[in-house]
Amino acid sequence: MDALVEQFFNLAIMERGLPLVLMGLKQTALLCLMVIPLGLAGGLAFALLSLARSRAIRWAAVVGIDCFRAVPPLVLLIFVYSGLPFAGIRPSAVTAVAVAFFLNTSSYYGEIYRAGIESVGQGQWDAAASTGLKGYQALVYVVLPQAIRNVLPDLISNTVEVVKLTSIASVVALPELLYSADMVRSLTSNSSPIVLAAAIYLVMLWPFVRLASMLERRIAT
């Protein structure tokens, strides 16, 4: 038991590694501030394109969504970071992460948005048209607010997954939270910094997990 505590719950090592871990937390926060808004915007674009009147546009959007959902985000990140240089494009680590995560998260957000829009009955479109609103005005002012409300728990849950997804940025040596904790672990030969990083993720994300659950129950009733 003492060996377990020493290896995984060593408070002295956690304290020594805390400054570096907090620097990684700052990088993780910056990544989230970059990736989540891009993903939300890209997902909305995917959803609207998948519901377009043009069959070609719909199929293109569906193929894009399915492809980026099917490809593991780690593979996508490695392809962007290591594959694009062969095409003469050399993205920085931050740019590669932003592009890869944008493609991946947009596809998931797009499916959520699409489900939300389709959950709004045709009667809402007809009621909006009867008041003189044009198609895009009905979408913006009538349909989208209801659609987002219907799928808000799913949007929050997916956003939690996006935050956890940032941990794979360590593959391209971007010093986010997990990468920084692992650096401390390698320097100290002790796993306590990894436990510290896990605790930080828990503190950050647990309120959002509870919020999503609460909204799910409220919408269900």
- pLDDT tens digits, one per residue of 104-113: 999 999 999 9
Q: Rounded to an integer, what distance in angstroms lies between the CA atom of residue 177 and that of residue 20? A: 9
3-state secondary structure of 71: coil
- In tens, the pLDDT along 27-43 reads 999 999 999 999 999 99
Among 69, 47, 67, CA closest to 58: 47
Closest by CA position to 122, among listed 145, 141, 138, 140: 138
Model's pTM, two decimal places? 0.87
Task: Kindly state the tokens that stand for 57.
Answer: 């546009």
Query: What is the distance of C-alpha 109 from the center of its chain?
Result: 8
CA angle 100, 106, 177 (to 5 degrees): 50
The mean pLDDT of 57-61, rounded to a whole number, is 90
What number is the average pLDDT over the span 184-194? 89
Give me the mean pLDDT over the 13-20 stretch.
Answer: 91
